[in-house]
């Protein structure tokens, strides 16, 4: 019998509880909120990084247990992590993201306690990801990932496509499929917006920013941008990725603005002013930034790799492709769109965010999943 998760302590384990975690950290914040809303207690475990203390308030009132890292940050070896997990007396542990030491710690916790252990890869078994750093991932598989995958009670996939990736890479066909939950919708959009396009996400090669900047620069050089058109790029990431991106801005026009990290009310303001959000990604799990844009009434220019075909079907998104040429065509279409057509897209975006990705509906599904895992474990113990 499903008795809910009231009083249950659920650990959310991830590599970074800060801006460096990108969309995974954003998903963990929402996951903790859903657990608390269902009466459970969320405890967050992560590797300490340079922004952990600065960003801890974003996870409140859930506590963040951040363990210092020894050795290469790409591995994330944290000697204290397993002990801190075991000391927390968790009823269930939910790993968000793979390919780093938290996978080893999660498996060790599961083997020691015999309690439910759930893995959300967050798109990290996508072929584009697995093809990068092959030797490092091969070592990770041998060192800890396979044991973690075997120890998992089940996997969580954001989409049916990710469930297929999990089946191919991990040999597990027991994934529960639940999309990310979006935020509550802003008041309905009633009028047009200025020609402002927004990218807001982690700065990383898979986000495919260089062709976006090149396509925008082409239009600016040709005088093909409408008056007042602005491309705002808000993001954060590893130092080398940010430096590589900033190099692409050397010859960019003044209408391209890079504003760095953007959170809280500043992020909400940017989304509320954006005519379109653009995400020309080469690989994604299920990007939170698109759900946030739709909730704010901003339709999207995105690729099929964003794994949100619902957006195209509902008329809330346009396919911008991944190349300089296709992105340019998408920009032209978005900036030339008549106000009434844009308004229809904005309203479709908010309807989609409020229906298929509402926090209340997805929180109920997660409460059922956690409760079912706990009930099954109790039955086995009996």
For residue 231, list its beta bridge partners. 197, 256
Mean pLDDT of 339-343: 97
CB 215 within 8 Å of CB 331: yes
Which tens digit of pLDDT belongs to each residue from 319-338? Answer: 999 999 999 999 999 999 99
Q: What is the pLDDT of residue 382?
A: 47
284 and 373 in a single domain? The answer is no
CA-CA-CA-CA torsion sign (333, 291, 309, 119): positive
Do 309 and 203 lie in one domain? The reply is yes
Q: What is the pLDDT of residues 83-129, one digit of tens each?
A: 999 999 999 999 999 999 999 999 999 999 999 999 999 999 999 88
- Examine the domain organization and report whether 269 and 319 are in the same domain: yes
Residues 30, 171 share a domain: yes
pLDDT at 2: 40
Mean pLDDT over residues 119-144, rounded?
89
Residues 48 and 109 in one domain: yes
Q: Do 120 and 174 share a domain, yes or no?
A: yes
pLDDT at 277 over 80: yes
Residue 349 falls within a domain, yes or no? yes
**Same domain assignment for residues 157 and 231:** no
Flag whether 294 is in a domain. Answer: yes
Written as six digits, the tokens of 142 are 């041998």
Please calculate the CA angle 93-98-100 and round it to the nearest 5 degrees: 105
- pTM of the full predicted structure? 0.80
Residue 3 has pLDDT above 60, yes or no: no
Rounded to whole angstroms, how far apart are CA atoms 231 and 280? 14
Report cis status (omega within 30 of 0) of the bond before 61: yes
Residue 361 has pLDDT above 80, yes or no: yes
The residue range of the domain holding 169 is 9-181+358-381
% the chain with pLDDT above 70: 97
pLDDT digits (tens, 9 = 90+) for 13-27: 999 999 888 889 999
> Domain check: are 277 and 209 in the same one?
yes
Please give the tally of structural domains in the chain: 2
Q: Domain check: are 19 and 157 in the same one?
A: yes
pLDDT band at residue 164, thresholds of 50, 70 and 90? very high
My answer on whether 126 and 52 are in the same domain is yes
> Which whole number is the average pLDDT over 140-163?
93
Residues 286 and 222 in one domain: yes
- Does the pLDDT of residue 141 top 90, yes or no? no
Q: Which has the minimum average pLDDT: 46-50, 132-136, 320-324, 334-338?
A: 132-136
What average pLDDT does this structure show over 186-213?
Answer: 95
Average pLDDT, the chain: 93
Rounded average pLDDT over 297-319 = 96
Mean pLDDT (whole number) for 30-48: 94
Tell me the torsion sign for CA atoms 255, 235, 194, 273.
Answer: negative
Q: What pLDDT is stored for residue 1 in this prediction?
A: 33
Share of the chain above pLDDT 90, in %: 78
- For residue 190, being part of any structural domain is answered with no
């Amino acid at each position: 019998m499903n008795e809910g998760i009231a009083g249950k302590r659920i650990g959310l384990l991830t590599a970074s509880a800060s801006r460096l975690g990108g969309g995974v950290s954003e998903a963990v914040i929402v996951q903790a909120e859903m657990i608390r809303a269902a009466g459970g207690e969320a405890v967050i475990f992560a590797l300490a990084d340079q922004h952990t203390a600065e960003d801890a308030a974003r996870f409140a009132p859930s506590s963040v247990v951040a363990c210092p890292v020894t050795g290469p940050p790409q591995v994330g070896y944290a000697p204290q992590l397993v002990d801190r997990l075991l000391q927390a007396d968790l009823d269930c542990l939910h790993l968000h993201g793979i390919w780093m030491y938290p996978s080893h710690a999660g498996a060790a916790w599961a083997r020691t306690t015999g309690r439910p252990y759930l893995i959300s890869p967050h798109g990290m078994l996508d072929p584009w990801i697995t093809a990068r750093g092959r030797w490092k991932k091969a070592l990770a598989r041998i060192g800890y990932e396979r044991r973690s995958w075997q120890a998992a009670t089940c996997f969580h996939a954001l989409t049916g496509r990710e469930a297929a990736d999990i089946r191919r890479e991990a040999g597990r066909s027991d994934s529960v499929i639940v999309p990310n939950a979006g935020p509550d919708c802003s008041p309905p959009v009633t009028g047009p917006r200025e020609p402002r396009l927004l990218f807001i996400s982690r700065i990383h090669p898979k986000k495919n920013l260089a062709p976006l900047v090149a396509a925008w620069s082409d239009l600016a050089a040709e005088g093909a941008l409408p008056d007042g058109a602005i491309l705002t790029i808000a993001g954060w990431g590893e130092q080398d990725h940010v430096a590589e991106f900033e190099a692409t801005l050397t010859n960019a026009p003044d209408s391209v603005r890079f504003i760095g990290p953007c959170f809280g009310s500043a992020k909400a303001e940017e989304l509320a002013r954006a005519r379109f959000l653009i995400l020309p990604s080469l690989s994604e799990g299920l990007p939170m930034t698109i759900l946030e844009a739709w909730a704010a009434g901003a339709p999207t220019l995105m690729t099929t790799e964003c794994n949100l075909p619902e957006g195209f079907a509902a008329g809330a998104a346009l396919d911008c492709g991944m190349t300089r040429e296709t992105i340019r065509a998408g920009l032209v279409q978005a900036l030339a769109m008549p106000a009434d057509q844009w308004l229809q897209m904005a309203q479709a975006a908010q309807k989609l965010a409020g229906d298929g990705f509402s926090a209340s509906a997805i929180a109920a599904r997660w409460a059922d999943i956690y409760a079912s895992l706990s009930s099954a474990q109790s039955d086995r113990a009996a």
